[in-house]
Structure 1
Amino acid sequence: MEIREVLAINLRRLRQAQGLSQEELSHRAEIDRTYVSLLERCVHAASIDVVDRLATVLGVEAADLLQRPPASADDDASAE
């Protein structure tokens, strides 16, 4: 999984868990709403500064947005 995908998955998951729309997240992070959408769809790669602003708004460390999810049992089975 590419790092853009990791960011997209974590960003969407954390945003939705907090009940934030893309618009509200972008407003609080002072970035354009369409940019949040592009990040969540893996179209653009975020700068480290943007990752930090998003993490701050979401109340997590920047590293949390870049943390790969653990491999599931399904992933292990398909690798065989």
Structure 2
Amino acid sequence: MDVRKIIGWNLRRLRVERAISQERLGLEADIDRSYIGRIERGSENVTVATLEAVSRVLNVHVSELFAPVDPGAIPLRALKGGRPPHE
């Protein structure tokens, strides 16, 4: 797995673990939501500044985005879409 795929895998894992949508992550990191999606798919050469912004929002050290991925790991399911119902 190349580095872009590793970063994308870890970004998605950390984001989903924290129940943060791509849209919310993008807003808080001042990055376009579609760019977050491209990073997660491993199709972007992301900058250090972007990694720093994302890790700040996720409250992790940047190095967490480079953690080795278990070859047998199963991709995480997407978060449920849409807004929560009003009570």
Q: TM-score, normalised by structure 1?
A: 0.84
Aligned residue type for 1:12: R
d(CA) in 1 for partners of 2:46, 2:12: 14
After TM superposition, give the deviation of residue 59 of structure 1 in Å: 0.5
For these two proteins, the number of residue pairs brought into alignment is 72
> Structure 1 43/71 Cα, relative in aligned 2: closer, same or farther at 3 Å?
closer
Long gaps (5+) in structure 1: 73-80
Structure 2: runs of 5 or more not aligned = 73-87
- Aligned match of 1:15: 15
d(CA) in 1 for partners of 2:64, 2:38? 19
Partner Cα distance (2:23, 2:71) in 1: 31
Structure with the largest fraction of helix:
1
Give secondary structure in 2 for the equivalent of 1:9: helix
Structure 1 runs of 4+ aligned residues shifted over 6 Å read none
Output the CA distance in 2 between the equivalents of 1:61 and 1:15.
Answer: 14
Instruction: State the Cα RMSD in Å.
Output: 1.2
TM-score when normalising by structure 2: 0.77
1:20 is matched by which residue type in structure 2? I
CA distance in 2, matches of 1:11, 1:70: 15
2:42 corresponds in structure 1 to 42
SS in 1 for 2:24: helix
